[in-house]
Structure 1
Amino acid sequence: MDHHEPDGPSAVELAAIRRSLTNGRGALSRRTALRAFGVGALTVGGGAALSGCGIPPAKREGGAAAADDHSEKEKQVVFSNWTEYMDISEDNKSRPTLAEFTKRTGIKVKYTEDINDNVEFFGKIQPQLAAGQDAGRDLINVTDWLAARMIRLGWVQKLDAALLPNAYANLAPQFRRPDWDPGRAYSYPWTGISTVIAYNAKATGGKKVDSVSQLLDDPSLKGRVGFLTEMRDTVGMTLLDLGKTPGRFTDADYDEAIGRLQKGVDKKQIRRFHGNDYTSDLSKGDLAACLAWAGDVIQLQADNPDIRYAIPAPGYITSSDNLLVPAQARHQRNATRLIDYYYERPVAARLAAYINYVCPVEGVAEELAKIDPELAGNTLIVPDKAMAAKSHAFRSLSSEEEKAYEEKFAKLIGA
């Protein structure tokens, strides 16, 4: 595939994209349903390491046997994704970036929004993958911990680097070296997901809330604080507040973080641990401040000027959703070309303008500014160096750690 940077959208297209930012999406983002997986799911978590400019050789424990590729004869690719995770036209009748890919390459994309939950989706494809069969999908988009598990099991095809010139060149440094796929030999991120502190300035009386300590100890916030039901986000942010590193913590560190949160529960500082319903409570002021996902904050701010966010001084937790080609996929080459297409900066900009999560494509700001200068300057979508330097990934867990940690967290939140 040629290294190609297409012309930007026309003035008419730009207007349509801008309108879609407020009218083309649901009230809640796709992210609010992302992390609903059960205790003891035996997953392996992980995230991007935060340094390194090059991509080193990848290490791998398992291995998928090379499957027959039918890409040349069958000009198609089957892509499974989450809902509200792809740009759509103003009339809701087409997906512009996918349509452009087909126009350019002749490859038709069967696009399905059939991922509602990581564990549920894994259950759909696990029997076929375990049996060494085609799972009926050429490209899937799953969260880092599930991507790590699938790679470890050998249920993912190694990507052909020759078909990824844009991805290799344009991947932002903070996403280049996840500990579960250090060479990006099997995955490329679709988006980054940042966990921040959000607060309703009206509900706090104008007070800024910018630390986990403040969430847990400020008496003026008592009973109006929320933490996420996702273990990695809540414990990870608490570890940072305790001066620990989420990428290198011990069992004792984890227990200290759980104990710190338990005190917040016992003294009723924490109103509740929330999932996909925190956005409405924050907007109404029932929650004065909480841990939140950055993409949701951007959307809430469009409708409520009282919604603010803060990055704590010790930093914030970041994770990612990742594109993988399952073992035995029929159209590996076509799927890999589609991955690379989304690393062309104009394409990445259009996607970022719609979904509002961290764009993993370095240098996308210039193209995004053609669509919406405000979005291009938003470090929640396009992190600058200072923002990227504050991001921390929760380290990969063994299945034994996963089970033990999730059990302790479930007890904390009353699950």
Structure 2
Amino acid sequence: MDHHEPDRLSAAQLAALRRSLTSGRGALTRRSLLRASGAGALTLGALAGLTGCGIPPAKREGTAAVPSDDHSDREKEINFSNWTEYMDTSEDEKTRPTLAEFGKRTGIKVKYTEDINDNVEFFGKIRPQLAAGQDTGRDLIVVTDWLAARIIRLGWAQKLDASHLPHAFANLSPQFRNPDWDPGRVHSYPWTGISTVIAYNTKATGGRKVDSVTQLLDDPSLKGRVGFLTEMRDTVGMTLLDQGKDPASFTTADYDAAIGRLQKGVDKKQIRRFTGNDYTADLDKGDLAACLAWAGDVIQLQADNPDIQYAIPAAGYITSSDNLLVPAKARHKANAEKLIDYYYELPVAAQLAAYISYVCPVEGVKDELAKIDPALADNTLIVPDKAMAAKSHAFRSLTSEEETAYEEKFAKLIGA
């Protein structure tokens, strides 16, 4: 196998990232840890809970949310639910600067709650009210794309008023503009993007670059030291790409072929294990030589371990997103739309991106981010350039029947 120059950040970039991580999200934050417990980590029992816990039958899917009375003019407030460590905070952690500035500018008080720890768990909290046509007590929520798709499909997300979203409409990055589960972003806007890449430890690989799923599954020198993710869409999506299939338009036969290929990797013990975010410790130590990884974790690992590198496969990579939605019956829809639009203003988007280190979905943010930290602005894992964006692929939305069948097959593969 040829030796290649590894994809890595410069010394200056790493130094800047260390500064950012010290005052920002911190090494291997709870947000990245908790991401592993989303849909892809479903056991069969959890899946059954999702599909059979009182959700209306399929015939109701696709119905529009009933418009609710908007009290924004009289009640200058927003109830905003988000994930832990997904908002900028001051160094003393007493304030959230961008939220504070929004309040000063608009007079709208934001009640910000970090009460989303897991997509399935959070859906369980709000499902009873949504199913009953009641207010969840939340005006704005952030959920991963698969759950956003489900909520929209069930008619439990309000349509957004485009006239209230001039910055969001103008500045949304092209790669996030038209997901098949919400064409034209009628109901949602991305909070962040999440890229799945290949990460490897050069000390464990003998200096060799690992840049394809084929290498992960077939390179004998990596046997027993390879990791894949318990997130179905990432693991199967990356395998589909490696097989020349489009994750946006694959068939059940394509899916089964990808599962079969991964099963061979399990049977011959090429794959050490399927992991949530806990791959980070094994990769850092070299117990895993190479694995599928989330880009935000790679940035954080590189800050402390120069042996950690990443690669974007020639076949492409999977991009998912966490998305802002206004639930059905929310009392303050117009206020929530003002907040969504605010985070698409370039200086505000840059401030948030500098703190959380995930893919920024705001086009044109690079120059503003460079004013905060040039190294962050040059990091294509945070601000993808055109070449990086062109290689990104989204996993298509699934019908209820497909979601159940595919998750069952995947759960069997990973031994869940």
* TM-score computed with the length of structure 2 as normaliser: 0.90
Question: Post-superposition shift, 1:155?
Answer: 0.8
1:360 aligned partner:
361
State whether residues 103 and 110 of structure 2, in contact with CA within 8 Å, keep that contact through their aligned partners in structure 1. yes
1:152 aligned partner:
153
Matched, 1:320 2:296: no
Can you list the C-alpha shifts for 1:175-198, whole angstroms capped at 9, x where unaligned?
110001102111000011110000
Can you list the C-alpha shifts for 1:231-261, whole angstroms capped at 9, x where unaligned?
1100110011111111111111111111111
1:22 aligned partner:
22
Q: Distance between the aligned counterparts of 1:337 and 1:207, measured in 2? A: 49
Matched, 1:237 2:238: yes
1:107 aligned partner:
108
> What one-letter code is carried by the residue in structure 1 that aligns with 2:200?
Y
Matched, 1:224 2:225: yes
Question: Post-superposition shift, 1:26?
Answer: 3.9
Q: Distance between the aligned counterparts of 1:170 and 1:381, measured in 2? A: 16
Question: Post-superposition shift, 1:20?
Answer: 4.5
State whether residues 200 and 290 of structure 2, in contact with CA within 8 Å, keep that contact through their aligned partners in structure 1. yes
Partner of 1:233, secondary structure, is helix
Question: Post-superposition shift, 1:203?
Answer: 1.2
Q: 1:270 to 1:384 in 2, by over 3 A?
A: same
State whether residues 20 and 90 of structure 1, in contact with CA within 8 Å, keep that contact through their aligned partners in structure 2. no
Partner of 1:150, secondary structure, is helix
Question: Post-superposition shift, 1:18?
Answer: 7.8
Q: Distance between the aligned counterparts of 1:308 and 1:65, measured in 2? A: 49
Can you list the C-alpha shifts for 1:257-280, whole angstroms capped at 9, x where unaligned?
111111111111111000021111
Question: Post-superposition shift, 1:34?
Answer: 1.8
> What one-letter code is carried by the residue in structure 2 that aligns with 1:366?
D
1:70 aligned partner:
71
1:12 aligned partner:
none
Within a 5 Å distance, the mapping from 1:10-409 to structure 2 comes to 19-29=19-29, 30-36=31-37, 37=39, 38=42, 39=44, 40=47, 61-409=62-410
Q: Distance between the aligned counterparts of 2:167 and 2:324, measured in 1? A: 15
Partner of 2:203, secondary structure, is coil
1:4 aligned partner:
none
Q: Distance between the aligned counterparts of 1:19 and 1:97, measured in 2? A: 20
Aligned residues: 385
Partner of 1:177, secondary structure, is coil
Q: Report percent identity of matched pairs.
A: 82
Q: Distance between the aligned counterparts of 1:17 and 1:289, measured in 2? A: 23
In the alignment, structure 2 segments of 5+ residues that lack a partner are 1-15, 52-60
Can you list the C-alpha shifts for 1:322-379, whole angstroms capped at 9, x where unaligned?
0000111111111110000000011101111111111000000000001111110111
Q: 1:258 to 1:119 in 2, by over 3 A?
A: same
Question: Post-superposition shift, 1:22?
Answer: 2.2
State whether residues 17 and 375 of structure 2, in contact with CA within 8 Å, keep that contact through their aligned partners in structure 1. no
Q: Distance between the aligned counterparts of 2:184 and 2:369, measured in 1? A: 28
In the alignment, structure 1 segments of 5+ residues that lack a partner are 1-15, 44-59
> What one-letter code is carried by the residue in structure 2 that aligns with 1:233?
D
2:3 aligned partner:
none
Q: Distance between the aligned counterparts of 1:169 and 1:361, measured in 2? A: 9
Question: Post-superposition shift, 1:63?
Answer: 1.2
Relative to its length, the structure with more helix (as a share) is: 2
> What one-letter code is carried by the residue in structure 2 that aligns with 1:399?
S
> What one-letter code is carried by the residue in structure 1 that aligns with 2:156?
W
State whether residues 22 and 302 of structure 1, in contact with CA within 8 Å, keep that contact through their aligned partners in structure 2. no
* TM-score computed with the length of structure 1 as normaliser: 0.90
Question: Post-superposition shift, 1:19?
Answer: 3.9
Question: Post-superposition shift, 1:61?
Answer: 2.7
Q: Distance between the aligned counterparts of 2:326 and 2:293, measured in 1? A: 30
> What one-letter code is carried by the residue in structure 2 that aligns with 1:32?
L
